[in-house]
C-alpha cells in the first residue's frame, strides 16, 4: 500500500524511534528534577531538542516552548493573546482557509465578546496583503494566518504580512504546521512573526508533540500572553506540565534530520510532485482538474478533482492500494471549508481528493498509478 496522506501525518523515521527509545526506558527521569543523573540526562536531552528545533526554525533556543502540538499551540496563542490584551483591543484577524484549531478557537472567542474578521481568500486559498491592511483597526490585537495551506499547499505572503504587522505594531501568529521541513526559511528574516505553531508528526517525528515559537526581544523578554495551562511552571511558566521527554527528543531528532536534508528533501518532493502530476494527467486527462496552484506552494501536495466521481467512494476504493484523503483529516466528516472558501461548489468539493507526498517515496512507488 502506497501512503500518500503525509499532510495528515508522516511515518516516524527509524533514527527518530532509536533516539526516543532510551527516554521511554532507562532514561525516564523528570527533567524538572535536580541533581541525580536521570533528571540531568532528561533535562539535557530536552535542551538538545530545543536547540535542534530552533536551528530548523532559525530562532533562539529560548524562543521554543514545547507543547502537545499545533492544536494546543494555536489555542494557547489565540486564547492567551485575547485574554492578555483584551483591555487594549478585542479585534482579531484570520482567514476563512485556516485549520479548525484556529477557526473553532476564534468562534469560541466570539462568544467571549471578541470581534473576528475572517478574511476571504483567493482561488488558491491565499490571503491578499491588501485585505489584511484594510482589515486592520486601532483595536486589532492579533493577526493569525497560516504559512501554508494543509489542503491546497498554497503559501501565504508571510514575508509581506510579517513586515506589515511589524510596521503597524500588531502581533502576528502563523500556523506553520504544514511547511516545517518542506520549505526553507529562517525566522531571523521575519522579525514581524511573534508566534508560530508546528507539530512534530508532520515531519517524521512523533505525534502529540510540537512547539510554539514565542519571539523574545533584545533583552530576552518573550512577547507576553496568558498561559493556557497553569501549574508547575515548566517551560519558563509559559506551558506547565511534565515534559514528554521521549516525544520531545523525537521531535528534536526529526528536526535535526529535516534540517540536515532540507534541500535534498525539497527537490525530491518537487520531482515526485512533477511525476505524480504527469501520471495523473496521462491517466485521467480531461477528467481531472487540479485545484492547487503550481507555484509558490508546499512541494508534494496535490488537490485534484475527479469529475463526476464521489471522493468518499474513490478514497475507499483506492484504500487497499493507495492511502489518500478527501482533504483535512481533522474535518473529514464535513465538506471542506477550505475548498468552499476558494469558491468550489459542493459538487466539486465532493469530487476532490488530496495527495500528499513524502521524501521517503520513490519514483517507482508512484508507478502504481499506471496499474489503476
Ligand atoms: N494546523 C494545520 C495547518 C494542520 O494541518 C494541522 C494538522 N492537520 C494542525 C494545525 C493541528 O495539528 P495537530 O493535530 O498535530 O495538533
**Domains along the chain with CATH numbers:** 2-9+262-371 (3.90.1150.10), 14-260 (3.40.640.10)
Place 334 in a pLDDT band, splitting at 50, 70 and 90: confident
Atom of ligand 1 nearest to the CA of 8: 8
pLDDT value at 331 more than 90: no
Ligand 1 midpoint to CA 99 (Å): 7
**Residue 282, class by beta-carbon neighbours within 10 Å (0-12 exposed, 13-18 middle, 19+ buried)?**
exposed
CB-CB contact of 185 with 159 (8 Å): no
Mean pLDDT calculated for residue range 78-89: 98
Each residue's pLDDT tens digit, 275-300 = 999 999 999 989 999 999 999 999 99
Statement: residue 155 has pLDDT above 90: yes
Beta pairing class for 171-175 and 195-199: parallel
Atom 6 in ligand 1: residue holding the nearest Cα: 177
For residue 44, what pLDDT is reported?
A: 98
Pocket test residue of 10, 250, 330 for ligand 1, highest count of atoms within 8 A of CB: 330
What is the CA(70)–ligand 1 centre distance, in A?
A: 5
Nearest ligand 1 atom to alpha carbon 69: 16
Better-predicted residue by pLDDT, 327 or 187: 187
pLDDT (average), residues 21-47: 98
Residues of the chain with pLDDT > 70, as a percent, come to 99
Among 12, 67, 71, 244, the mutation site with the greatest number of ligand 1 atoms within 8 A of its Cβ is 71
Query: Phi and psi for 14 in degrees, rounded to 5?
Result: -55, -35
Cβ(28)–Cβ(38) under 8 Å?
yes
**What's the 69 CA to ligand 1 centre distance in angstroms?**
8
C-alpha separations of 271 from 184, 202, 280, 297, 354 in Å: 17, 20, 14, 14, 17
- Calculate the average pLDDT of the chain: 97
| pLDDT of the residue at 332 | 64
Distance from residue 268's CA to the centre of ligand 1 (Å): 23
Ligand 1, atom 5, lies closest to the CA of 150
* Among 164, 145, 142, residue whose Cα is nearest residue 154: 145
Write out pLDDT tens, residues 200-243.
Answer: 999 999 999 999 999 999 999 999 999 999 999 999 999 999 99
Residues linked to residue 225 through DSSP beta bridges, in sequence order = none
For the whole model, what pTM was predicted? 0.98
Q: How far apart are CA 29 and CA 42, in angstroms?
A: 6
- Residue 213 forms beta bridges with which residues? 64, 196
Atom of ligand 1 nearest to the CA of 329: 8
What residue's CA is closest to ligand 1, atom 10? 70
Burial of 206 per CB tally in 10 Å (0-12, 13-18, 19+): buried
Residue with CA closest to ligand 1 atom 4:
177
330 is catalytic: yes
Cβ proximity of 225 and 194 under 8 Å: no
Residue 263 confidence class, pLDDT cut points 50, 70, 90:
very high
Q: Which residues surround ligand 1 with Cβ inside 6 Å?
A: 69-71, 99, 101, 146, 150, 175, 177-178, 199, 201, 210, 328, 330
Which range has the worst mean pLDDT, 22-26, 284-288, 333-337?
333-337
Among 73, 99, 179, 205, the mutation site with the greatest number of ligand 1 atoms within 8 A of its Cβ is 99
Cα separation of 165 and 177, whole Å?
Answer: 21
Q: Which three cell numbers stand for residue 2?
A: 502506497
370 Cα–ligand 1 center, Å: 32
Amino acid at each position: 500500500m502506497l501512503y500518500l496522506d503525509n499532510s495528515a501525518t508522516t511515518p516516524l523515521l527509524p533514527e527518530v524511534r532509536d533516539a526516543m527509545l532510551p527516554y521511554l526506558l532507562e532514561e525516564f527521569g523528570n527533567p524538572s528534577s535536580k541533581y541525580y543523573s536521570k533528571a540531568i540526562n532528561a533535562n539535557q536531552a530536552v535542551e538538545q531538542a530545543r536547540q535542534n528545533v530552533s536551528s530548523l526554525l532559525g530562532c533562539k533556543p529560548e524562543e521554543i516552548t514545547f507543547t502537545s502540538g499545533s492544536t494546543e499551540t494555536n489555542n494557547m496563542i489565540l486564547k492567551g493573546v485575547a485574554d492578555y490584551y483584551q483591555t487594549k483591543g478585542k479585534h482579531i484577524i484570520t482567514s476563512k482557509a485556516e485549520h479548525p484549531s484556529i477557526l473553532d478557537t476564534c468562534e469560541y472567542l466570539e462568544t467571549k465578546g471578541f470581534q473576528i474578521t475572517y478574511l476571504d481568500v483567493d482561488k488558491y486559498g491565499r490571503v491578499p496583503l491588501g485585505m489584511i491592511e484594510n482589515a486592520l483597526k486601532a483595536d486589532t490585537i492579533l493577526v493569525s494566518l497560516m504559512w501554508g495551506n494543509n489542503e491546497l499547499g498554497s503559501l501565504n505572503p508571510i514575508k509581506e504580512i510579517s513586515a506589515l504587522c511589524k510596521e503597524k505594531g500588531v502581533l502576528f501568529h502563523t500556523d506553520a504546521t504544514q511547511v516545517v521541513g518542506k520549505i526553507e526559511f529562517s525566522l531571523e528574516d521575519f522579525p514581524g512573526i511573534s508566534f508560530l505553531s508546528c507539530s512534530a508528526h508532520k515531519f517524521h517525528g512523533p505525534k502529540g508533540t510540537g512547539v510554539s515559537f514565542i519571539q523574545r526581544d533584545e533583552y530576552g523578554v518573550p512577547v507576553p500572553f496568558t498561559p493556557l495551562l497553569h501549574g508547575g511552571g515548566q517551560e519558563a511558566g509559559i506551558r506547565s506540565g511534565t515534559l514528554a521527554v521521549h516525544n520531545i527528543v523525537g521531535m528534536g531528532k526529526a528536526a535535526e534530520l529535516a534540517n540536515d536534508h532540507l534541500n535534498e528533501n525539497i527537490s525530491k518532493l518537487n520531482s515526485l510532485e512533477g511525476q505524480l502530476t504527469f501520471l495523473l494527467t496521462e491517466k485521467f486527462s480531461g477528467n481531472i482538474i487540479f485545484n492547487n496552484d503550481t507555484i509558490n506552494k508546499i512541494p508534494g501536495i496535490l488537490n485534484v478533482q475527479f469529475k463526476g466521481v464521489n471522493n468518499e467512494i474513490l478514497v475507499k476504493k483506492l484504500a487497499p492500494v493507495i492511502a489518500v484523503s478527501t482533504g483535512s483529516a481533522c474535518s473529514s466528516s464535513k465538506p471542506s471549508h477550505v475548498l468552499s472558501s476558494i469558491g468550489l461548489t459542493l459538487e466539486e468539493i465532493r469530487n476532490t481528493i488530496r495527495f500528499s507526498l513524502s521524501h521517503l517515496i520513490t519514483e517507482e512507488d508512484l508507478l502504481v498509478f499506471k496499474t489503476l
